Amino acid sequence: MSGDFHFRGRLTDPAVLSRLDLDVTKSTDEIDIWIPGYMEPTIREALDGFEPGRRGPGVPSFDFLLENTHRSAVHLEMRDVYDEEPEFIHWKRTGEVVYDFAAWKKQLAPCIKRGVKFRRLRIVAEPVSDYIRWEHAISSGNIDAGEDLRWLPRSQTYDLLLPGADLWLFDQRRIRFGVQRGDGSRGTYEFSSDPRIVRQVVASFEMAWDRAIPHADYKIH
């Protein structure tokens, strides 16, 4: 043939379809696609570099995900209680707002420099919990780090289809779900790059974001 690669997906040329049928069987739920020959090095690298039994790098770290993000990172928070950090316990005891965002600002700085936009959305029940009240008090640190932060009362989300867990979404391609325990402590992480799941998450986040209130305008109740 021409040297180009052909895969089952979307293809309509009768001559190519006829020739392809001589080499590859086709199921009733498959169509054909065409990939130009200049992609041969990429495809060869994937095919020829395959090693039976080879294992991947395992669960990606947050640092790895962030370092490989180039356009956008969004964080959706939907719980009213999380791990009680020492600064939160101190605030409950004394009313003093103390939190060091230096490490977070340092981590975000190179991402922001290469053009990554950070958005954080917090969906909260009202009246808010003590934890959310504390988060609101320290949120100027998120803004200073370069985040766009909004708040959305849970009473305004009843007609939205939201994910079942908090999440980070990177470049609208990779998702890290944070599955918390019932007491608010950290549980497990689940990951997905399935386009069907990503599409649903993007849609639900954007609908919630459109309704949400910018941090500067949100008053604690």
Q: How far apart are the first and last CA of the chain?
A: 69
Q: Convert 103-138 to b/e letters by CB count within 10 Å (16 or more is b).
A: ebbeebeebeeeebebbbbbbbeeebbebbbbbbbb
pLDDT at position 36, please? 75
pLDDT at position 1, please? 44
pLDDT in tens, 111-166: 999 999 999 999 999 999 999 999 999 999 999 999 999 999 999 999 999 999 99
pLDDT at position 196, please? 87
pLDDT at position 67, please? 94
Which pLDDT band, with edges at 50, 70 and 90, does 18 fall under? confident
pLDDT in tens, 153-199: 999 999 999 999 999 999 999 999 999 887 767 788 999 988 889 99
pLDDT at position 10, please? 56
Domains of the chain: 5-48 (no CATH), 62-217 (3.30.870.10)
Regarding predicted confidence, which is higher, 81 or 33? 81
pLDDT at position 50, please? 64
Query: If you search the block for the tokens 């790059």, which residue do you land on?
Result: 193
pLDDT at position 63, please? 95
Among residues 201, 207, 121, which one has the least CA distance to residue 157? 207
**pLDDT reading at 54 higher than 70:** no
Instruction: Enter the pTM of the model.
Output: 0.76
